[in-house]
Amino acid sequence: MSRAWFLYRKDLRIELRKKESGASMTFFGALVLVILNVAQGPGRRLTPETAAGVLWVAVIFSAVLGLGRVFARERENGCISALLVSPASPGTVFAAKACVNLTLMILSQAVLVPVFFVLFGTGLTGGPLALVPSLLLVDAGFSAAGTLLSAVSAGTRRNEVLLPILLFPLILPLVALAVKATGSALAGRALAERLPLLEPLAAFGLIYAAAGYLLFPFVVREG
């Protein structure tokens, strides 16, 4: 447990110093929101469902940008080998990395969601707080699956291109559910109505947390 904490703290320290992933995630996400706002045309109001779609496009595109970086760092100077010969198990490394990714996603969304409400908020009944449950659940699933696949893509020659190609098909159902859940939250409906949508989101998170924990060691080991 304390090993995971050291790993987590190390990554977060680098992140706070270089502001590589978090800052570019937030910046790019805001950029996507503005682009979508421009594309939507001036003065038009979106239905809650469409607005939810806009938010999720910005969230997943910005998140995938940061994910690759967090793992690629371990390949530089061969640090991943040092972690593998340390007493920390690969599963622990996976858990720590997934938590770093989760933290980065939450931090960037803390900026992106207000930006989203500024740009698209008119006519939406639900406020930012209503989005928190679905955002957190998707973030958890996304960082679990994303950590596993960023380890895969970091081992190939086409790291940056490959990560979204591998990750997006897997999280497609997650996004579909999230859009529905967020749409109903933005329309101001009660949390109880969204529960059937949130359960599969949680299931996805659990499945990929387990799959990642079990498969990650195979990905990072040489053979």
Residues in contact with other proteins by the rule CB under 8 A? 2-3, 6-7, 9-10, 13-14, 17-18, 73, 76-79, 81-89, 145, 148-149, 152, 155-158, 162, 165-166, 168-170, 172-174, 176-177, 180, 196-197, 200, 203-204, 207-208, 211, 215, 218-219, 221-223
Please identify, using beta-carbon distances, which residue of 78 and 127 lies nearer to other proteins.
78
Burial 69-100 (b: 16+ CB within 10 A, else e): bbbbbbeeeeebeebbeeebbbebbbbbbbbb
Are 163 and 64 within 8 A, CB to CB? yes
Smallest separation, CB 119 to other proteins (Å)? 27
Please identify, using beta-carbon distances, which residue of 35 and 190 lies nearer to other proteins.
190
Q: Which amino acid is at 106?
A: I
Smallest separation, CB 107 to other proteins (Å)? 18
Please identify, using beta-carbon distances, which residue of 61 and 168 lies nearer to other proteins.
168
Measured in degrees and rounded to the nearest 5, phi and psi for residue 6 equal -60, -40
Q: What does the block give as tokens for 139?
A: 């973030």
Q: What does the block give as tokens for 111?
A: 């900026």
Please identify, using beta-carbon distances, which residue of 3 and 121 lies nearer to other proteins.
3
